[in-house]
Structure 1
């Protein structure tokens, strides 16, 4: 087997591993970004725990096909970067969407969450979903509010009874 084929097979295996491991994946067209803009984007993605890579499209198509992922190959034309979110499925979409607002050269193409491929419009909707931590905090806050009100009410009743018995 020649060296070039071995390298391609290793890359396909790497891409497959990343696609399997990632909770959320977003494809974007990065053509036209300056080096400074790309560096800023990569920094923002790193801070959000998102891995950002550029692979040959045909290798990504091979990896997706081997995993049985349908529909991703339609978006793999031209220069495409891939953002992999391993802990938060919405993080890649959120960071790329926010960055694309200020940098029109970056264009979201598609995304994937749990093996389901989404188009650009659906990825933009996905970007508006808060992170898992924020959602958990909101949920806990909604649990806490009624309990706090109940504790306040019980304390008020107790204080009223104490003040009545003191009189």
Structure 2
């Protein structure tokens, strides 16, 4: 019996270390309740997370609490870690997991059973209702890159427009003069 207990403790310690490592690497973490969801629906959710590069784990609440000991999140998750809890870790784009959850919940009645309990972003806990409203609506990494590129290109585009303006004005003046000469010679 003692050997079985030590094996179980070693397994739990391994899970705690793994979860702690995921928290350390993650840019954001979303806590989910999946009560009332069938296996097929949860499997579909897992697939969507995998495609988006999000790590999805169902972990016992006590093990999550142990993984967060000694971190800024220790003791901050209180009621979030009650009942069945799944954890979705985003590693590159903080909004990825929240966007997957938002889109998934829109798919139907079975998917609406997925409960967003809370999220963690920069060691701050965000209420479940704010996850879909705020975190999921944040621009993604690719959107931010496109915005930055547009911002960087704007001065160059403005410079080209400014350089072309005098030439365009000269063309307009010459065209007006040409029309004036045609009218005076024709009439």
Question: Take 2:128 and 2:70, find their aligned partners in 1: how far apart are those partners?
Answer: 24
Tell me the distance in 1 between the aligned counterparts of 2:58 and 2:77. Answer: 15
The corresponding residue for 2:139 is 130
Structure-2 change in CA distance of 1:157 and 1:53 (3 Å): same
- Counterparts of residues 1-167 of structure 1 (less than 5 Å): 2-70=6-74, 71-102=76-107, 103-124=111-132, 125-158=134-167
Q: Tell me how far apart the structure 1 counterparts of residues 173 and 15 of structure 2 sit (CA, whole Å).
A: 79
Whether the 8 Å contact between 1:61 and 1:73 is mirrored in structure 2 is no
Q: Structure 1 residue 147: deviation in Å?
A: 2.4
Q: Which 5+ residue runs of structure 1 have no aligned equivalent? A: none
SS in 2 for 1:83: strand
Compare 145-154 and 111-120 and name the one that shifted more. 145-154
How many pairs does the alignment contain? 166
Unaligned runs of 5+ in 2: 179-187
Structure index of larger Rg: 2
What is the TM-score when the length of structure 2 is the normalising length? Answer: 0.79
CA offsets per residue over residues 137-157 of structure 1, 9 Å max, x none?
Answer: 113213323421321331342
RMSD: 2.2
